[in-house]
Amino acid sequence: MTPSRDLLKQIILEINEPVLFNEIINHDNNWNKLELNNFIKLLGDNKLPFRVGKNKATIEPQWDINCHVQSMTINEFMEISDDNNEDWFYFDYKYMHEWFNEKPEILEAVDWKLFGFEKSGKDSTLWIGSKGAHTNCHQDTYGCNLIAQLHGRKEWLLFPPDSGAQLKQTRIPYEESTIYSKYNFFSPTKSDREAFERVNKAAKYIVLKQGQVLFVPKGWWHYVESLDFSISVNVWLPLESDNEGRLREAVTKFLMSKMDNVPAAEDLRSVDLKNLSVLMQHCVDECKKLREKNDEIPKKKVKITPLVLSDLVNEYPGVITAIGDLNKEELSRIISFKNSRFKREYKINLDVDKSFNDDNDILKTVVDRFCSPDIIDVIVNSLLND
Ligand SMILES: O=C(O)CCC(=O)C(=O)O
């Protein structure tokens, strides 16, 4: 039995832990237009920018801002990634409307109505990667996330929202709406491995396969790696609480823009402060309105029965799946494998940033602490209590 669209929507808006959905996207709906051969045909000769990284051990994580970019058609990408295992290639985090506005067949094939949301490819991002292509561990600061795996396999390692301190959260490199972990999950060092043994947050691990859809609730940390040639599409769904997240991000961006030479995914010198202040004021007003609305709701004695994931799993076996917690040994096995899979002599350091090198590490730490989520919280709370 398949859950109704309304129920799927309710699950996504109410459940606070990752959920795996099977058999919702399939050959009988719009998504079938994105089956591999047809998708390759639809992509045609469009040149796409692929980020290039190394299938080797590096000391720092392979930050996006330090990778170079190679423009290729999908066929060129498939040829080059077949022949070359030393590098990985990733057309990642690309808003589909920016790349395929001329190709409505692609945009319309992405159909989130099946999950109860009026969203299509126009609202989604596309990820095409070769084996080893990965996204460093991070937390998205607003929205919740639905990810459809269209081809190949991707591993997802997830940690609960309150794991920031244990994952050594950092705002450097700065990227809007992304809080990174300093850990290099792709090629962890031995000391990273030991540090993980002390992380006492329950991690979750899933290999997402073709046709499966993963739901990642707000705030869950994730490290994602392509296990082979993989294509996925995701959509971030807005939540009522996003205005507060946007305010936090606006404050962070303002502070970052006032500091020199912070490694960043965008040029912080060209931040439009007028726009930023309008956005901040709007978010403050909306947050206050939401607070008032919540305070006004009469405390009626209506009994609302919350959804319970284990009941849904029993009711829709094989369609709705909970993702179990990793125990310490399992997490340690995953990290040990990643620690030992590359020959150590290949160790290279991709941290090419010149302004924040080892000589001024303390300065980097000061900037980072200044923009850390706890400090931003203090500022935001005082704005909301004015
Ligand atoms: O697929 C990936 O590499 C990362 C996806 C991601 O970070 C996201 O959907 O939030």
Site to probe by mutation for ligand 1, drawn from 127, 155, 180, 227 as the one with most ligand atoms within 8 Å of Cβ, is: 127
Average pLDDT taken over every residue of the chain: 92
Report the C-alpha gap between 137 and 128 in whole angstroms. 18
Closest protein CA for atom 7 of ligand 1: 135
> Higher model confidence: residue 331 or residue 260?
331
What's the Cα-to-Cα distance from 70 to each of 46, 48, 51, 52, 95, rounded to whole Å?
13, 8, 6, 7, 18
pLDDT of residue 360: 65
pLDDT of residue 193: 83
pLDDT of residue 216: 98
Q: Is the torsion defined by CA of 98, 99, 105, 109 positive or negative?
A: negative
At 347, the pLDDT band (50, 70, 90 cuts) reads low
Q: Reduced to 3 states, what is the DSSP secondary structure of residue 144?
A: strand
pLDDT of residue 74: 98
Whole-number Å distance, alpha carbon 319 to ligand 1 midpoint, is: 22
- What's the rounded mean pLDDT across residues 37-54? 96
For the stretch 85-122, pLDDT in tens is 899 999 999 999 999 999 999 999 999 999 999 999 99
At 299, the pLDDT band (50, 70, 90 cuts) reads low
Whole-number Å distance, alpha carbon 67 to ligand 1 midpoint, is: 17
Whole-number Å distance, alpha carbon 177 to ligand 1 midpoint, is: 13
The closest-lying atom of ligand 1 relative to the alpha carbon of residue 147 is 9
Whole-number Å distance, alpha carbon 232 to ligand 1 midpoint, is: 9
Best CA proximity match to 112, nearest among 126, 122, 99: 122
Tokens read off for 259:
């500091």
Report the C-alpha gap between 171 and 264 in whole angstroms. 9
Q: How much of the chain, in percent, has pLDDT values that exceed 90?
A: 78
The closest-lying atom of ligand 1 relative to the alpha carbon of residue 133 is 3
Whole-number Å distance, alpha carbon 111 to ligand 1 midpoint, is: 18
What's the Cα-to-Cα distance from 93 to each of 90, 97, 196, 233, 374, rounded to whole Å?
9, 12, 27, 9, 27
pLDDT of residue 123: 98
pLDDT of residue 311: 96
Provide the greatest CA pair distance for the chain.
Answer: 66
CB neighbour list of residue 371: distance below 8 Å, 6 or more residues apart: 171, 174, 252, 255, 256
At 350, the pLDDT band (50, 70, 90 cuts) reads low
Whole-number Å distance, alpha carbon 125 to ligand 1 midpoint, is: 9
User: In the predicted model, is pLDDT for residue 208 greater than 90?
Assistant: yes
Report the C-alpha gap between 60 and 66 in whole angstroms. 10
User: In the predicted model, is pLDDT for residue 262 greater than 90?
Assistant: no
User: Ligand 1: which residues within 6 Å by Cβ?
Assistant: 92, 127, 135, 140, 145, 147, 222, 224, 232, 234
